[in-house]
Chains A and B, each alone.
Chain A
Amino acid sequence: MIDTLIDITLLAFLTITAVAIIRMRNLFVIIMLFSLFSLHSAGLFVVMDAADVAFTEAAVGAGISTVLMLGTLALTKNHEEKRPSHHARLPMVVVLVTGGALIYGTYDIPSFGDPASPAQTHVAPHYIEHSMEDTSAPNIVTAVLASYRGYDTLGEVTVIFTAGIGVMLLIGGHLMRRFRQKDDR
């Protein structure tokens, strides 16, 4: 009961934040609202007992990405150009149809936490029953992430590393230049 109440409250806040983001023109306010959006999602994940996901969402979504977006904002103007004058009718139709199809699709999805759903009957029981003796890690999420699915995590780390290289190549040149100047002196 209390879970449902919290769910409804958080989802209402999510919707309000999303609408506010669409209507705002000040980019600084929008970034702050994005951070709030992530925090609400993190709250929802906690209600769903997904502590690890909530932790990541709070640290990455609400924390560091906000800082990085603020850093980007410092390099540009913090106000959006004036709103487009034309009415976006065709995009509106496309969005409504896609959204309707997605909502229709949810009727076939098994309900939350359904023990008979395919996700719960395939490999999940094996992880839950054997992860402690297989990996001696009490946190099943860590056992899956680091051991059973070690390749995927290696891929994720490589993606982050590649992202770092990409940013350095695009706008990180001054870091190298400044230190070369220091060497010359």
Chain B
Amino acid sequence: MKHNLILRLIAKYLFPVIALFAFYVQFHGDYGPGGGFQAGVILSVAFIFYTLVFGLKTTEEILPPYVLRILASTGVLIYAGTGVVTMLMGGNFLDYDLLSPKPAAGQHLGILVIELGVGITVSSVMLMIFYAFAGRGRS
């Protein structure tokens, strides 16, 4: 799609909007509908949209596949790591009450952190699968 000037321009401006919406859904998940899963999917959709217009090669230069592999495992690690941290602090696995002096604030922090882990894993796994399918035909 080398010559579709309007499409390329709109894609460039839409990408940050979609990404911003993804972050809104991610960090606003405990107040409104949404959370890590939806935010991860929306963020990966932003990159997929970019790929559809600019090609897989351009996107792979911005976000190489090996980064995605690291990020996918980082998300799970953040989630499970939160549980391990609460265990080290003397509580049960994923007992967020201990993360802060005030239990409710600890819960808030814990939910935010594990949702972040969910979002990172979901978005990078979705993109990984998309890369695998989209890159398969050409090589």
Count of chain B residues with a beta carbon within 8 Å of a chain A beta carbon: 55
Task: Say yes or no for A30: interface residue by CB 8 A criterion.
Answer: no
Let me know if B111 and A146 touch, CB within 8 A.
yes
Interchain CA distance A138-B44 in the complex, whole Å: 27
Task: Say yes or no for A141: interface residue by CB 8 A criterion.
Answer: yes
Task: Say yes or no for A71: interface residue by CB 8 A criterion.
Answer: yes
Write out, one digit per residue, whether chain B residues 97-139 have a CB within 8 A of any chain A CB (1) or not (0).
Answer: 0000000110110110011011001101110111111111101
25 contacts between A and B (CB under 8 A): A54-B33, A59-B45, A64-B48, A68-B133, A71-B133, A75-B136, A75-B137, A134-B107, A137-B31, A137-B108, A138-B30, A139-B30, A139-B33, A145-B35, A146-B110, A147-B107, A153-B79, A154-B94, A164-B72, A164-B125, A168-B132, A171-B133, A175-B65, A178-B135, A178-B139
Let me know if B104 and A174 touch, CB within 8 A.
no
Interchain CA distance A142-B134 in the complex, whole Å: 33
Interchain CA distance A145-B30 in the complex, whole Å: 10
B129 contacts which of A56, A156, A164 (Cβ < 8 Å)?
A164
Cβ of A151: which chain B residues have Cβ within 8 Å of it? 93-94
Write out, one digit per residue, whether chain A residues 139-165 have a CB within 8 A of any chain B CB (1) or not (0).
Answer: 101110111001101101110110110
Let me know if A135 and B129 touch, CB within 8 A.
no
Interchain CA distance A71-B130 in the complex, whole Å: 7
CB neighbors of B among A163-182 (8 A): 163-164, 167-168, 171-172, 174-179
Cβ of A175: which chain B residues have Cβ within 8 Å of it? 65, 131-132, 135
Task: Say yes or no for B58: interface residue by CB 8 A criterion.
Answer: no
Write out, one digit per residue, whether chain A residues 32-71 have a CB within 8 A of any chain B CB (1) or not (0).
Answer: 0000000000000000000110111001100110011001
Cβ of B44: which chain A residues have Cβ within 8 Å of it? 64
Do A55 and B33 form a contact, CB below 8 Å, given A63-B45, A134-B107, A150-B114?
yes
Interchain CA distance A143-B79 in the complex, whole Å: 15
B104 contacts which of A59, A72, A135, A157 (Cβ < 8 Å)?
A135
Cβ of A150: which chain B residues have Cβ within 8 Å of it? 83, 94, 114
A56 contacts which of B38, B76, B80 (Cβ < 8 Å)?
B38
User: Residue among A71, A74, A174 with the most chain B CB within 10 A?
Assistant: A71
